[in-house]
Structure 1
Amino acid sequence: MTNRQVRLFRRGAAAGGRARAAQALWLAVVVLGGWLCGPAAALTAEPAQPRPFDAVLGKLIVQLITTQHYAKRAFDDDVSSMFFDEYFDSLDRERRFFLAADIEEFAARRTQLDNELPQGDLGFAFDVYARFMQRVRERVEYARTALAQPFDFTVDEEMVLDRSEAPWCRDKAELDEEWRKLLKNRVLVFTLMNEQGAAEAAQKPSAATPASPEGEAAPEAAPPAADTGEAAAPAAGATTTPAAPAEKASPFANLPPAERVLRSQERFLRMLEENESLDVLEIFLSSLARVYDPHSTYMAPSTEEDFDINMKLSLEGIGAVLSTEEGYVKIVEIIAGGPADRDGRLHAGDRIVAVAQENDEPVDAIDMPLRKVVRMIRGAKGSRVFLSIIESGKALSSVPTTIELVRDEVILPEQAAKSEVRVVPLPARNGAPATGTPAQPEPTAEVMVIDLPSFYSDFEGRRDGDEDYRSASRDVRKLLEPAAAAGVDGVILDLRNDPGGSLEEAVRMAGLFFAKGPVVQVRSTGAKREVYPDPDPGLAYAGPLVVLTNRLSASASEIVAGAIQDYRRGVIIGDKATHGKGTVQTVLDLGRFFKRSPVFDEEPTGSLKLTIAKFYRVSGLSTQREGVNPDIVFPSYTDHMEIGEATLKHALPGDRIEPLAFECAVDVTPFLPPLRKLSEERLAANPDYRALTDSIARYAAMKDRKTLSLNLEKRRAQQVEEEKWLEEIRKQTFDAGDGAVAEEEAAPAGKDDKGNKGDGKQDDLVLDESLRVMADLIWMQQGDLLAKPAPPPQEPAAAPSAEAVVTPAPADAK
């Protein structure tokens, strides 16, 4: 692989949207019992036999995985056994279709796949899938019978939320009982939705945007959820604009609950029956790739098309980046300026459980392949789509709400870096606070807050010689240089929720804040090490610097935060750790292997996304699994979520390599102890902070629930309690702030016309406290540009060894 092939892809949580955490993420757990009705990964077609081309493609992918993957791991009996389990899990993660007898029947081939697949034998893949389709049809028949009779919701019984670790059901009688509870819960959920919708409709009959019969999403969401895998294609950008008075009622409330549940099962079966052989192959081969690591996957042509949208500049739809996680389609990111962003009701971490077109019945999205959900959401500009969602902060018995969005064109450059300038009061000197009078004005400082949604780059524009091509580092430089010239007192670089992007942009971004030196090391297969230095000897900003991170800051974000920390250049503030993705992927176009084939040259092939390298900090530390630990830790809901690389099955281990020689031109280390002490004292006296910590403790207890009541009255009471709790979270997370900071002005690309950043972060506690930390840092550093440098906190490192090749960042690295 050449440098120009290396792509560091945005996290969104697992390979192609299909890698999964070791346990269900808290978001999935919230609604698992209420919605799960099918396999928890992308499901596909059931041909009688694989095509000849499928066998050739399978052999090629096995060869590429075993020879090009970073792990250089042989396809042996151990891998075959894990591959066996992964394939069954991909089809039936919640163990609600296959029986124990099915697994036992195929068990003789558990350690034979490493012999069969390299020879092009796909019999196992299609035999298992045929059995799966048989079991799905049986479950639909059972649903028809069970839903014909009313359920008794006065019975005090419970169902297990997460069955992913449960044993396979021994016989159909045991499976029928699981399905009886599952169907009962789904009918209960729709009953609660109808009740909630009717109540809201009665309370808001004259609202400009009428509440749907299933309820209206709250204006603010709870804390964003983790993105534990690769971000998949942005769902076409549906712009959400205030609905016209004459808009029609949502189609979600047109069916009785039992009938809707039955129709969802029937639609699910029809969807599976429409699939093709290449879809079965995609599940099967992706299951093998994921055994090597969670970010490697085979993408069939349609999946590849969706994936490619991530790097394009425009699309049409709702303006959201989606991924799949444990069978749920999850919002990874709301595209700034898009329809969903303008509407404000959809947030990162929300799960889409159903989609309806105007005048059509809703279609359940649970366990549906991501590309099919994306295509349902996409549509012509000006058309409407109804999304039934579970909000990210809602707990176990949450009732889905319906959002109506108007599709529009989404201009992806609106995701570009944005800035705003905040005025913060400085600490009083010598114990004598300023009076704030004209004679003794209160000392203040101007702090620029830069929000960076991703490490984007217009690679095509650069290759074509466009002098104005867009990139994250170029845009941030344009924000920094005039601010520095105008004498801005401090800069906060907000990398929270930034899933990463271009490796080159990460290198250039870090270089904006120090003059020279290595930024990151990349080690590929064969232990060859490449060092990526700052390509620009100048720097855009030399003053006080704070970097904000959270558990959703991944890949390129971790490179920048790690470099700033290693160079002692700034203060890192955030969750206990960043995401922990320290691997590099490349996408191989499989079509090029068949260009000269007289038989298969026109066959659609798709692509193979493969992990080919790890990156390391200049200190030699790896961010893989561990992430970047901040200098000042802020409590977070993510402390109790199954989020991050370490939660993913088959994630590569972290390690460390020899550090590089580098010089620290400045040093914030002496300021860290007093900065921590001042922050702790402030937060201890802050009632909003105390309320937040109490709420986090309540969440930790709530998320550990393993069962869900099927008693209607208990669920009603639980719903009321959880709605109150969710509202507390919203206030504590997004409405906090005591006016200690004031917004003064913004760069042209900064805020919208309401003065909001549109990402739910403007008035949150972390940003407010970070501004106060910045004020302390400015006050401590007054009199000097920055602290004088000290020796780097590492063992002396020799110059790069023979295997460490110092190279400029690749022009088209992603």
Structure 2
Amino acid sequence: MLTNRIATFFSGLLLTALTALPFGALAAEDALQPEDDHGGTAREIVGKLEMLHYNKLKVGDEMSADLWDEYIDTLDPTRSYFLASDIAEFRQWRDKLDDQLRAGQVTAGFNIYNRYRLRMSDRLENILSQLEKGLPKFDFTRDENLLLDREDSAWPASISEADELWRKRLKSSVLNLRLTGKTDEEIQDLLTRRYQGQVKRIGQQNSDDVFELYMNSLTRLYDPHSNYLSPRSLENFNMSMSLSLEGIGAVLQMEDEYTKVARLVAGGPADRNGKVKPNDKIVAVGQDKEGEMVDVVGWRLDDVVDLIRGSAGTYVRLETIPAGGDGSHRTVLIKRSKVKLEDQAAKKATFEFSDGDQTFKIGVINLPTFYIDFEAYRRRDPNYKSTTRDVARLLNELKEEGVDGIILDLRNNGGGSLQEATMLTDLFIDQGPVVQIRHANEQISRHNRSRSRAMYRGPLMVLINRLSASASEIFAGAIQDYNRGLVVGNQSFGKGTVQTMAPLKEGQLKITQSKFYRVSGDSTQHAGVTPDIPMPQLIDAESVGESAYDSALPWDRIHAVPHAKYFNLKDLLPDLISKHTQRTAVDPDFVFLREHFRLDSERADRKFVSLNEMAREQEREDLNQQMLVLENRRRIAKGLEPYENFEAYEKSESEDTTAIGGPVEIKLESDPILNEAGYIMADFIGLSEKIAKTPPQVANF
């Protein structure tokens, strides 16, 4: 569970007074029961976690309490289904779950889930009975608020208290839909179909679903990247790993009742489209350009994925709630395609930048991921495609073009092959260690080394952001530790762990067994790589990144290993930072980026949302006006024609960008971060006479 989880809700469930039946729609005989193999699998999972996981935690009384908390919070993160009396009843198991799991008993997990399932079913049936009579009449002129984050709220103590919570939730749902322009009849129809679908999916749940949910509440206590895959989930996982990706190229996850975009696959349709961003919530999916939009709030994740996935060349429409927006919806048209290796391949461009005295030609290499064609590599194809081979070719081309320096752009690069990260580093440094790996048994491996003389020895910059992770962090960290080049951008993701698959009799366990460390001894875990020169923050580090997870393994250090120090960059940084600060303080694009992020942060920090329609409309109008003022201020400063109104600005932002046909070109005019990185590189080269020209020396520790 995220530390800063913002509670998002089923759009409109109403709790009326419970009837004499304690749990409404589902009868006792509908309760789900453990399968015969679940007990043995639970014992296996406990044993492998204790024996193999890097964290070396024991399943005891303290973990029993943590598991109890995690499981209940996973089921009901908004504290809206269970009553306080339910929680009081469940406390009988709070310190006993560890003993039960060791004994192969999972009935407590099923009992808690069945209560949740019955409570949820009752909510759905009650709201459907209300909707049969028409949409409830709410007073949208009344000044009242809905608490957004109920993570620390008390559980409803009574039916009347729960009634009031659900009344506000339904009112908020109806208001949200009214603000999208829907009529009462359309809202009633949409909500009816939404909850009918959810009732159907409740009935389709089986015992394996419950067991997987319970076991993953346990694995998350070890770290967020360890999880149990049931036979069904394992089949889907293997299919996604073995088949060509066909769809939109997005990694999705559940957050409360919403499907959320976790990250975009580099070079995929959604990435090239540019209108879908991490943390956007998907509320509806439509097929083709005109197909009916199907509401997916409350759907299972795999069902949403099935709806989005489709044949290459077809279209899908996503109705999203953009992250950091005002809650309004946006519909994005995306043309599905296969995510091809060539779409993720490194590409280059050259640009000219001046430091005020001289003009320099700067080469830019964009690297979306660390890739290798393993199949071609295994069959010893001499022309197999890989990151290192492609970058080496591009380096030769850039040297022939006479570039004065090179920027390696790793923004949004989520990682990939460790072998490629090591070999890529080998292109820029002489022989030496690249990364240390400490395993669960405390042994440290230092076999990942640069083994050749550097291919490129000129000025180098690595550009990173919050979505640069794993292999990207290994490469950037090595370049920084060797003082080989500048690291510019934002603090990286902080994914510094390695997972392996452990077979079980039923399913498999993905388990964290190792941790990455830089040659300096610093872990890349949790803290990531801190840039030498920071750029404006565009992605909220509170909600995106390893540090956003409660159970993320901590940052720590081990012994450094001897490594070279190439340049005395420390003495250059004050001048470089000063020039960068002076430029960006008045640069129209950077002023816009900083103010835009400030507005997003203010909205993300809200504790309540108004249920007064006029107040909400005014909030939207104020936000739209603020965005228009920011954009027009930017445009005027750049000599561009300002927009007449927000509608004109919005239209320009939503123009169709569904064309496919290869990687996006590297363009400076739409990328102020890269543009500024070019000026920093020009300053870096211009100040190069201050860099010691002596050969690299091994650092002393």
- 1:254–1:378 CA distance, 2 compared to 1 (3 A): farther
| CA-CA distance at 1:362 after TM superposition | 4.0
Match of 2:306 among 371, 375, 381: 375
Aligned mate of 2:680, from 757, 768, 773: 773
- Partner SS state of residue 532, structure 1: coil
Counting only pairs closer than 5 Å after superposition, residues 272-283 of structure 1 correspond to structure 2 as 272-283=202-213
Change (3 A) 1:384 1:647: closer
Is 1:260 the counterpart of 2:260? The answer is: no
Residue 764 of structure 1: aligned partner: 671
| Counterpart code for 1:297 | N
TM-aligned CA distance change 1:677 to 1:114, over 3 Å: same
1:323 is paired with a residue whose SS is strand
Contact 1:183 1:261 in 2 (8 A): no
2:26 maps to none
Q: Report if aligned partners of 1:341, 1:758 keep a CA contact under 8 Å in 2.
A: no
341, 346, 351: which one pairs with 2:276? 346
Matched, 1:23 2:7: no
- Cα displacement (A) at 1:572: 0.9
User: Could you say which structure has the greater relative contact order, defined with CA pairs below 8 angstroms and 6 or more residues apart?
Assistant: 1
Residue 718 (1) aligns with residue 619 (2)? yes
Aligned to 1:461: 376
Residue aligning to 2:654: none
Q: Give the match for residue 480 of structure 2.
A: 565
Distance 1:338 1:717 in 2: 37
Change (3 A) 1:535 1:254: farther
| Partner residue in 2 for 1:190 | 177
| Structure 1 residue matching 2:499: 3-state secondary structure | strand
Q: Secondary structure of the residue that 1:526 maps to in structure 2?
A: coil
C-alpha distance in structure 1 between counterparts of 2:122 and 2:105, whole Å: 28
Alignment of 1:686-701 (within 5 A): 686-701=587-602
Q: Which residue of 2 aligns with 1:578?
A: 492
Equivalent residue, structure 2, for 1:111: 95
SS of match in other structure, 1:151 = coil
**Residues 701 and 399 of structure 1, relative CA distance in 2, 3 Å threshold:** closer
- Which residue does 2:647 correspond to in 1? none
Q: Secondary structure at the match of 2:521?
A: coil
Which residue, out of 501, 506, 515, partners 2:430?
515
Instruction: Return the match for 1:553 from 455, 464, 468.
Output: 468
Task: Report if aligned partners of 2:355, 2:686 keep a CA contact under 8 Å in 1.
Answer: yes
Structure 1-normalised TM-score? 0.76
**Could you tell me which amino acid in structure 1 is paired with residue 485 of structure 2?**
G
**How many residue pairs align between the two structures?**
665
* 2:63 is equivalent to residue 82 of structure 1: no
Give the 3-state SS of the residue equivalent to 1:193 in structure 2: coil
Aligned residue identity for 1:642: S
Residues 1:54 and 2:38 aligned together: yes
C-alpha distance in structure 1 between counterparts of 2:363 and 2:638, whole Å: 18
Cα distance in 1 for residues equivalent to 2:113 and 2:37: 18
Tell me what 1:4 maps to: none
Q: Are the aligned partners of 2:128 and 2:196 in contact in 1 as well (CA < 8 Å)?
A: no
Question: C-alpha separation between the residues in 1 aligned to 2:184 and 2:383?
Answer: 51
* Alignment partners' CA distance in 2, 1:319 and 1:363: 20
| CA distance in structure 2 between the aligned counterparts of 1:734 and 1:510, rounded to whole angstroms | 40
> Quick one: distance in 2 between partners of 1:579 and 1:699?
20
Task: Judge which range, 530-539 or 341-350, deviates more.
Answer: 341-350
Does the aligned pair in 1 maintain the 2:12–2:166 contact within 8 Å? no
Shift of 1:463: 2.1
1:706 aligns with 2:607: yes
Partner of 2:318: 387
AA at the equivalent of 1:778:
I
Q: Distance in 2 between matches of 1:497 and 1:328?
A: 23
The aligned counterpart of 1:245 is none
Which moved further from structure 2: 661-670 or 621-630?
A: 661-670
Q: Does the 8 Å contact 2:464/2:487 carry over to 1?
A: yes
Residue 610 of structure 1, CA deviation:
0.8
Range that drifts further, 304-313 or 544-553 = 304-313
Give the aligned partner of residue 133 of structure 1.
Answer: 117
Question: Cα–Cα, structure 1 residues 84 and 660, in superposed 2: closer, same or farther, change >3 Å?
Answer: same
- Once the two structures are superposed, the pairs formed by residues 194-343 of structure 1 within 5 Å of their partners are 194=181, 256-308=186-238, 311=241, 314-335=244-265, 338-341=268-271, 343=273
TM-score by length of 2: 0.87
**Change beyond 3 A, Cα 1:462–1:301:** farther
Matched, 1:70 2:57: no
Q: 1:459 to 1:545 in 2, by over 3 A?
A: same
In 1, distance between residues paired with 2:127 and 2:426? 60
Where 1:170 maps in the other structure, the secondary structure is coil
Partner of 2:296: 365
Tell me if the contact between 1:425 and 1:445 (Cα under 8 Å) persists in the aligned partners: yes
Deviation per CA, 1:453-505: give whole Å up to 9, x if none. Answer: 22223333322323333332222222222222432211111112222222222
SS in 1 for 2:198: helix
CA distance 1:731–1:328, change in 2 (3 Å): farther
- Tell whether the 8 Å contact from 2:248 to 2:308 is kept in structure 1 after alignment: yes
Secondary structure of residue in 2 paired with 1:194 = coil
CA apart distance, 1:709: 0.8
Q: Which residue of 1 aligns with 2:555?
A: 654
Matches within 5 A, 1:731-750: none
Aligned to 2:418: 503
Closer, same or farther: CA 23–179 of 1 in aligned 2, 3 Å: same
1:402-444 deviation digits (Å, cap 9, x = unpaired) = 234443444244122222222223431xxxxxxxxxxxxxx43
Pairwise CA distance, 1:783: 10
AA matched with 1:775: A
Gaps of 5+ in 2: 15-29, 641-658
Whether the aligned pair in 2 keeps the contact of 1:692 and 1:732 (CA below 8 Å) is no
For the residues of structure 1 that align with 2:59 and 2:631, how far apart are their CA atoms?
49
How far did residue 288 of structure 1 move? 0.2
Backbone CA RMSD of aligned residues: 3.1
> Partners of 1:502 and 1:394 in 2: how far apart?
35
SS in 1 for 2:362: strand
Provide the C-alpha distance between the structure 1 equivalents of 2:477 and 2:532, rounded to a whole number of angstroms.
11
* Structure 1 position 735, deviation (Å): 12
Cα deviation 1:689-745 (Å, max 9, x = unaligned)? 334333433333332211111111111221222234456777899999899xxxxxx
Q: Aligned partners of 1:78 and 1:160: how far apart in 2?
A: 31
**Are residues 303 and 481 of structure 1, via their aligned partners in 2, closer, same or farther at CA, if it must alter by over 3 Å?**
farther
Cα distance 1:608–1:98, how it changes in 2: closer, same or farther (>3 A)? same
Measure, in 2, the Cα distance between the counterparts of 1:345 and 1:392: 11
Return the offset for 1:534.
2.7
**Deviation, structure 1 residue 56:** 2.1
1:602-630: per-residue Cα shift (whole Å, max 9, x none)? xxx33211111111110111122222111
Superposed displacement of residue 666, structure 1: 3.7
Quote the Cα distance in structure 2 between the aligned partners of 1:578 and 1:732: 31
| CA shift in 2, pair 1:390/1:503, >3 Å | same
CA distance 1:292–1:192, shift in 2 (3 Å): same
Q: Is contact 1:446–1:488 with CA below 8 Å preserved after alignment?
A: yes
- Specify the alignment match of 1:248 in structure 2: none
Distance apart, 1:60 and its partner CA: 1.3
Deviations 1:104-136 (A, max 9, x none): 111111111111112221111211111111011
CA distance in 2 between counterparts of 1:616 and 1:165 reads 36
Report the Cα distance in structure 2 between the residues aligned to 1:526 and 1:337, rounded to whole angstroms: 38
Following the alignment from structure 2 to structure 1, what is the Cα–Cα distance between the partners of residues 125 and 393? 62
Greater alpha carbon shift after TM alignment, 282-291 vs 649-658 = 649-658
Do the aligned partners of residues 494 and 371 (structure 1) sit closer, same or farther apart at CA in structure 2, a change above 3 Å counting? same
SS in 1 for 2:447: strand
The residue number in structure 2 matching 1:601 is none
- Cα distance in 2 for partners of 1:424, 1:564 equals 23
